[in-house]
Amino acid sequence: MDLIVAADKNWAIGKGGDLIYSIPEDMKFFRRTSLGKTVVMGRKTLESFPGGKPLPKRVNIVLSSNPDYAPEGTVAVHNYAELFAEIAKYPEDEVLLIGGGRLYTDLAKYCRRAYITLIDAETEGVDTFIPNFDELEGWTIESVSEPLEDAGYSFRFATYINSNPAVYS
């Protein structure tokens, strides 16, 4: 599995159940990278999408501890064992973790590659973070773009590689 996320200078990714920054060029990158793939997310991330609806043209796997939780158009799983059994059905490079903070934090060690949009900004009152991938054991930066500008923000597209991804268990 790989992951994709947009984080700011403090590795913040969310505020009040939503994204902090709205950057159309980054949205396009997310769409391009995730289309046709199997995307994995927590319940709160699904609820942050317009109408709480799953993403079209992707298999949407959603994690919730509520056994009755089964939103239309999703594959619901209820713990990490169920999640791992489900994603084992797909080729490794077709599974993409798309959030949120809790899943990134718990599951980064299983990921091989992280596509991280590094946003050169910071905001107060944020409440959801990912780990600092520059200091996370096993992770190194493979490539980073020149700074790009859109919607008043400066950002870079970075790819981080995990030298020793954990086996699903």
Distance (Å, whole) CA 27 – CA 63: 23
Work out the number of other CB atoms within 10 angstroms of the CB of residue 119: 21
State the minimum distance, in angstroms, from the CB of residue 20 to ligand NAP.
7
| Strand 59-63 versus strand 38-42 pairing type | parallel
State the minimum distance, in angstroms, from the CB of residue 83 to ligand NAP.
8
Interface ranges with ligand NAP (CB under 6 A): 5-6, 13-14, 17-19, 41-45, 48, 63-66, 69, 78-80, 98-103, 128
Is the Cβ of residue 33 or residue 141 nearer to ligand NAP in the bound state? 33
State the minimum distance, in angstroms, from the CB of residue 96 to ligand NAP.
11
The single-letter DSSP state of residue 102 is H
Is the Cβ of residue 6 or residue 108 nearer to ligand NAP in the bound state? 6
State the minimum distance, in angstroms, from the CB of residue 79 to ligand NAP.
5
Distance (Å, whole) CA 43 – CA 64: 6
Is the Cβ of residue 6 or residue 95 nearer to ligand NAP in the bound state? 6
Cα→Cα distances 169→6, 15, 25, 66, Å: 27, 31, 36, 21
